[in-house]
Amino acid sequence: GNRLLPGSEPAAHCYCGHQFGSFAGQLGDGAALYLGEVLGAGGRRWEIQLKGAGITPFSRQADGRKVLRSSIREFLCSEAMFHLGIPTTRAGTCVTSDSTVIRDVFYDGNPKSERCTVVLRIASTFLRFGSFEIFKPPDEYTGRKGPSVNRNDIRIQMLDYVIGTFYPEIQEAYSDNSVQRNAAFFKEITKRTARLVAEWQCVGFCHGVLNTDNMSIVGLTIDYGPFGFMDRYDPEHICNASDNTGRYAYNKQPEICKWNLGKLAEALVPELPLEISELILEEEYDAEFEKHYLQKMRKKLGLIQLELEDDSKLVSELLETMHVTGGDFTNIFYLLSSFSVDFDPSRWEDYLGKLTSQCASLEELKVAFKPQMDPRQLSMMLMLAQSNPQLFALIGSKANINKELERIEQFSKLQQLTADDLLSRNKRHWKEWLEKYKVRLQKEVESLSNADTWNTEHMKVMTSNNPKYILRNYIAQNAIEAAENGDFSEVRNVLKLLENPFQEAEDFREVKEDAEEEGATATAAACVQETRSRLPYCSKPPLWASELSVT
């Protein structure tokens, strides 16, 4: 790992960023090292970098290392996203060693020794929105500034490079007018970002840390940290346990990405005047997001013939039904692929049983809605909100208090509910929505002369847009625990599965390790697998998975 590749000039990238809404000043690649670029087939340019290879000029007080746990997550998720058809950086290799570092996983004063691991990352470029924030003058709120204030010559050089290399058609079309060229570039990255986040929403992917330094300048999913695929549908789902305010919750992702584009627009001044970029952002982003999101949702529902105005309402009502029944986002969509327009009424009960089996059980709901604050603390906060609003604003938020009150109310209602009551209620909700869905499917068929051809295409589109397998946290955790015990077969199993997310899979647990050195600890790892899960990879999470915390 210390020998240079021919032609390589290793470097670390300097960038800034708005983190959780505040400008943090200079950041940079604290654990990633750029090795160089290779030209692939057809002249495509690929940048390769190592993540976790050691100290860089931007490591600050850290050691520049990554551990097995986080590296496996990045390795598996970047490949999962690629095979789902979502623009992403790639992972080429994941290499671990016997070297260790100390990490306090949950920042709770309980550090442990973990194995150093390096991931080889591949992308056309790792430039980010934050790359252009190095020119930012002192921020009015934090007082921090970029390291290259007043260096407009570098900004021009970077824009020339980015547009000429990654947006050559724009460079060619506007070669004699830099402002028009830069406006066309900003319009394109606005639309790409809108489409990217629409894709995330349609598979239930939550990034977790949508800071401006984690936004790709070419519209890729970049920097896999405390990400998570949503299991039970909850529009306010937060995958990052350290996101205390829910800034990057699932339903906030579209507006946050738009906010980040606003910060990129500010960073491009004076090469692109703000009045031009702000107008582009307002005119393009929401429209592109809504168009792409609805197009994708139509495919997920197999609506391939007509585009009706009420389709948006049908999607909203589906998500609301998922929400009130605690439906598993991925599995509900996958099950809908088997719903037919000429469904025999005698099969409804059986089908409703399958749907409700993918809804949260009473026990799961009680865990999800269990109050999180001590009653005395909540009482004190409520009194403080009334008596001293300014002090309250410093230590709490109305949104958090309201959420806790809702949680208490829901938990109280669940105490009065029986499992039979819940099942009956869920079946009623799903039957109501399915009847609307059936009417919409009938409109598709009525507009055609050949229903059989439509049905074949309908099924094909649905099965290629509704994955059976995603990287659920509990699946990643099982693979990580096995790997930490020396058995990497589970990581390979999961990778093989995620490479074919839309297909019915065989039992990948049959894959065996060839490497002798891994055999010695395979028994210990197998014990972890035996005790933690015997569930199929497409199963909604076991109850223990609710205790998993990613920060």
Q: Which residues, 6+ apart, have CB-to-CB distance to 340 below 8 Å?
A: 455
For residue 206, the surrounding DSSP H or E stretch is strand 205-206
Q: State the Cα torsion 293-297-299-300 to the nearest 10°.
A: 140
Question: Residue 76 burial by CB count (10 A; 0-12/13-18/19+): exposed, middle or buried?
Answer: buried
Out of 213, 231, 234, 487, pick the active-site residue.
213
Encode burial over 25-50: b for 16+ CB neighbours within 10 A, e otherwise: bbbbbbbbbbbbeeeeeeeeeebbbb
Q: Cα separation of 283 and 163, whole Å?
A: 22
- Whose structure tokens read 């949260």? 360
Q: Is 231 annotated as catalytic?
A: no
DSSP string, 46-75: EEEEEESBS--TT-TTS--BEEHHHHHHHH
- Whose structure tokens read 């915390």? 549
Q: Cα separation of 424 and 349, whole Å?
A: 11
Beta pairing partners, 91? 121
Q: Cα separation of 60 and 121, whole Å?
A: 22
Best CA proximity match to 490, nearest among 468, 502, 503, 474: 474
Rg over alpha carbons for the chain, rounded to the nearest Å, is: 25
ω into 270 cis (within 30 of 0): yes
Best CA proximity match to 1, nearest among 116, 121, 118, 126: 118
Best CA proximity match to 91, nearest among 60, 131, 118, 128: 118
Q: Which two tokens stand for residue 295?
A: 């197009």
Best CA proximity match to 433, nearest among 539, 359, 534: 359
Question: Residue 220 burial by CB count (10 A; 0-12/13-18/19+): exposed, middle or buried?
Answer: buried
Q: Cα separation of 188 and 301, whole Å?
A: 28
Q: Catalogue the active-site residues.
A: 213
